Chain A
Amino acid sequence: MNLLTILDKLSDDKFFSTETSRLGSLAQFSDFGKKAAVAAIPLGLGSFMATSAKGETTQEASFAAASALTDALQLALTLEYLEDEYYRLGINTSGLIPAADKVVFQQISKHETAHVVFLKAAISSLGETPIAKPNFDFTAGGNFQPFTDYQQFMTLAQAFEDTGVRAYKGQAGNVASNKAVLQAALQIHSVEARHASKVRRMRMNKGWVESNNGGNMPAATNAVYAGEENVTQAGYNTSTLFGAAAGSASFDEILTGQQASMIAGLFIS
């Protein structure tokens, strides 16, 4: 099974928001040029998703099927493969990471490696075969040089961590049918958030995301932050008390499986 198969299967993403927001995200991705063609592959499913997103079912019926559970884990594994390889390459690139920062990235790397091991075991325990590690291109088709430019290394690290936080959150409904998996996913999710906060602070950003501004990030990463400006949570306006920046930052937003897969897909060669 490859990533695109997973993408197809995740098209029935129960938390898929709207076609409008999907198209908005794709517009951001056009910055990537040729890579956007890869990202566009799952588009044929758009009309189906736009229709089904309007459906309503009872609360009990909203748990996802078993295949959604393992598909969600395969997506998570793909993202963890990406992060794991990224940090390992960074740490092993002589002269890239300043000595003072090595402890940070070694700790993050250690966690991502553990997440890969954990997810492979979880998928196997559910009777499925873990997806093979894709071949990554961390330049995203020549757009980034993370292993020769430390600032770019940190920029992409922030993008990957903030993406991870949103992606796990977006799969909550797909793993909720298995309480053990749900809890483990939550436990990984908060680790990604700790990583994100630290890397953001190393880049002189706040640890949290205010509005859809990633914080001194290139436009090519806009899709990572699109939607984070939301200030309406279950009808409650989070901007009333302290303004939109604090309101949006007080809740992180999800990425659908498709959105997360598209971001990951940009770095898969």
Chain B
Amino acid sequence: MEKTVHVSNKGATLDTNRRNFLKLGGAGLLVAGLTLAGCRDEEMAYEQPDSIFDLGTGDVGILNYAYALEQLEADFYTKVVNNFYSGISSAEKQVFIDIYNHEVIHRDFFKAAITAAGAAPTPNLEFKYDGVDFNSRTSILATAKALEDTGVAAYNGAGKYIKNLDYLVIAGKIVSVEARHAAAIRDIINPGSMDFAGDDVIGSNGLDVAKEPKDIVAAAGSFFKTPFTWKEQGIG
């Protein structure tokens, strides 16, 4: 049965400051933005018989996709900040702590958002880091760069599949932070260069990379120990 979906087309529940949000929603509507958005029953993520999780369909699928990627980033930076490479500068340490904070917040946000939408969030995924040396500055920076650039390309490519405009704005709020991360990591790797927005990621038309979900999962797949499918996007 399709629920009646009412969302504010002004995005007021998402975009105003705290005071206005409370005025609109009150304490009883702490998850107002996403609860109101709701989802259709057929958009629910579902558990398959063989227990391999499918990300789902519609906006829930996109949210679970973002959640899976944010889980990866959060997991990676958790390992980084719990075992800084030797000789790390205080400036680099601060950058990694900040990024770790942001990615953990993103991760927990998506879990809350998917739950609030009445759907099943992707389970806690396990990751593997073959070839990554957590004691090596070079290895950690290169991995961070790859993950941040991947995050930017993933959100840039997924935006067009988002139906609920409130979710689209949320994705926009996150992707620019990922891009800020990417530029900072690139700046640390090669300061005083054009690499912060290098020609390897920005085309001659001035556009950043956008990748389809199946290409993202293929590119980042080596990090995922826990398998999942996203049949709607031809993954798995």
Contact = CB atoms under 8 A, between A and B. Distances in A.
B98 A246 contact: yes
Interface in A43-70: 52-59, 61-63
Contacts of A191: 179, 197, 202, 206-208
Nearest to B176: A193
A144 interface: no
Interface in A136-183: 165, 168-169, 172-173, 176, 179, 182-183
A197 B152 CA distance: 14
Interface string A240-269: 011000110111111000000000000000
Contacts of B157: 183
Interface residues of A, number: 80
B93 interface: no
A207 B30 CA distance: 30
A112 B202 CA distance: 12
Given A52-B10, A251-B174, A230 B18 contact: yes
Contact of A187 (B108, B187, B207): B207
Interface in B1-55: 5-21, 25, 29-35, 37
Interface stretch (A3-11, A26-34, A217-225, A231-239): A231-239
B106 interface: yes
Contacts of A182: 159-160
A254 B169 contact: yes
Interface stretch (B109-117, B123-131, B134-142, B219-227): B109-117
A73 B155 CA distance: 20
B234 interface: no
A90 to B, nearest CB: 16
A190 B201 CA distance: 11
Contacts of B102: 208, 246, 249-250
A234 B33 contact: yes
A21 interface: yes
Interface in A95-117: 100-101, 103-104, 106-108, 110-115, 117
A206 B193 CA distance: 18
B173 A252 contact: yes
Centre residue among B18, B34, B112, B179 by max chain A CB count within 10 A: B179
B173 A56 contact: no
Nearest to A187: B207
B131 to A, nearest CB: 26
A14 to B, nearest CB: 5
A193 B173 CA distance: 11
Contacts of B6: 56-59
Contact of B206 (A112, A179, A197, A208): A112
Contact of B176 (A110, A190, A236): A190
A198 interface: yes
Contact of B15 (A165, A186, A254): A254
Contacts of B192: 100-101, 103-104
Given A197-B179, A230-B17, A187 B170 contact: no
B206 A242 contact: no
A86 to B, nearest CB: 16
Interface of A: 14-18, 20-21, 52-59, 61-63, 100-101, 103-104, 106-108, 110-115, 117-118, 165, 168-169, 172-173, 176, 179, 182-184, 186-198, 201, 206-208, 227, 229-236, 238, 241-242, 246-247, 249-254
Interface of B: 5-21, 25, 29-35, 37, 94-95, 98, 101-102, 104-106, 108-109, 112-113, 116, 152, 155-157, 159-160, 162-166, 168-170, 172-184, 187, 192-194, 196-198, 202, 204-210
Given A172-B165, A186-B156, A208-B102, 8 more contacts: A17-B10, A21-B17, A169-B169, A169-B176, A183-B157, A183-B159, A207-B187, A242-B101
